[in-house]
A = this chain, B = another copy of it.
């Protein structure tokens, strides 16, 4: 079954063109924001921040944010929504910089480029990552102002980002993931799901919630988008685990087979490769179901779900 068949996207919707267009709009927004993000940073601290932001990426999180906005406000999505969406990408970017550090995953390659600490040193990478956090909050507030959101609404967006980006979300998940790599760690299916719900799902869900809130979503739609984001996050992570086993470093743009080498619990190691693939499809089905149950029929969000699944094929 192809992802298009799974999600039932209309044949007329060109997923590849949509994804390319979204990536271009996000990259354009990041280019616009970069000087403000790195404002005040000198020399190689500035360079390191800009190098991190320019990591070639799928830009999945901002695309989700813009698509969620589009669910509630049909028609062309304004540029300022993409700038809003970049706040989430900036938080994601800081997490990649810190994740790659020697004291964490110790990765030399990220999307085919040397990682930030390899180029600029660990101290500068640590600081460049940390500096991106308050910068993301500023970007979020600035873009929300452009969109005419009042101060209470802007405050709710900042709360979404800070909630998902901290110990209750992404950072909490990263720590569980780090602990799962210890030789004496025993991680079962429930533990693995918890890691990924926090590490990946929380920020994906926040991307959607921020876009939806900016468009004035009601609670029912926020909840549906959150459920979609959580399931998408799990599917994404299952696919990531599958790719770690099946792809080479060249194809992956990062060190391959690290999970296996580390004896780490992954979906393929717990369930086998075939079952892991099925689980990703199931999760994606649930993600799309959550939307449709709330009356959300979004070719964009279904295309993004299909894209996550296609990566693993």
Query: A: which residues have CB within 8 A of B?
Result: 38-46, 49, 94, 98, 101-104, 117, 121-124, 126-127, 129-131, 133-135, 137-138, 141, 150-152, 154-155, 158-159, 161-163, 165-169, 171-172, 174-176, 178-179, 198
Which B residues are CB-close (under 8 A) to A130?
A: 94, 98, 129-130, 133, 171
Which B residues are CB-close (under 8 A) to A174?
A: 127
From B123, B158, B163, B176, contact of A42 by CB (8 A): B176
Q: Is the CB of B141 within 8 A of A123?
A: no
Q: Which residue of B lies closest to A198 (CB)?
A: B40
State in angstroms the CA–CA spacing of A94 and B127 once bound together.
12
For residue A213, give the distance in angstroms from its CB to the closest CB of chain B: 14
From B44, B102, B168, contact of A39 by CB (8 A): B168
Given A41-B172, A152-B151, A172-B40, A135 and B167 contact (CB-CB distance below 8 Å): yes
Given A98-B126, A123-B178, A165 and B134 contact (CB-CB distance below 8 Å): yes
Chain A binding surface, main DSSP class: helix
Which B residues are CB-close (under 8 A) to A151?
A: 150-152, 154-155
Which B residues are CB-close (under 8 A) to A102?
A: 103
Q: Is the CB of B150 within 8 A of A41?
A: no
State in angstroms the CA–CA spacing of A163 and B37 once bound together.
11
Q: Is the CB of B159 within 8 A of A138?
A: yes
Which B residues are CB-close (under 8 A) to A159?
A: 138, 141
Nearest 6 Cβ contacts at the A-B interface: A40-B168, A151-B151, A103-B122, A134-B162, A41-B167, A134-B166
Q: Is the CB of B40 within 8 A of A167?
A: yes
For residue A312, give the distance in angstroms from its CB to the closest CB of chain B: 28
Most buried by B among A42, A45, A134, A138: A134
State in angstroms the CA–CA spacing of A16 and B90 once bound together.
45
Q: Which residue of B lies closest to A171 (CB)?
A: B131
Q: Is the CB of A167 within 8 A of B131?
A: yes
Which B residues are CB-close (under 8 A) to A135?
A: 162, 166-167
- Provide 15 A-B residue pairs closer than 8 Å at the C-beta atoms, listed in order of the A residue: A39-B167, A40-B166, A40-B198, A41-B167, A42-B172, A42-B176, A45-B175, A98-B127, A123-B175, A124-B178, A131-B171, A134-B165, A135-B167, A138-B162, A151-B154
Which B residues are CB-close (under 8 A) to A134?
A: 133, 161-163, 165-166
Given A138-B162, A141-B158, A158-B141, A131 and B42 contact (CB-CB distance below 8 Å): no
State in angstroms the CA–CA spacing of A244 and B58 once bound together.
48
- 17 additional A-B pairs beyond A41-B168, A133-B134, A150-B151, beta carbons within 8 Å, are A39-B167, A39-B168, A40-B167, A43-B179, A45-B172, A102-B103, A103-B126, A104-B123, A129-B130, A130-B133, A133-B166, A134-B162, A137-B158, A138-B163, A141-B155, A155-B155, A158-B158
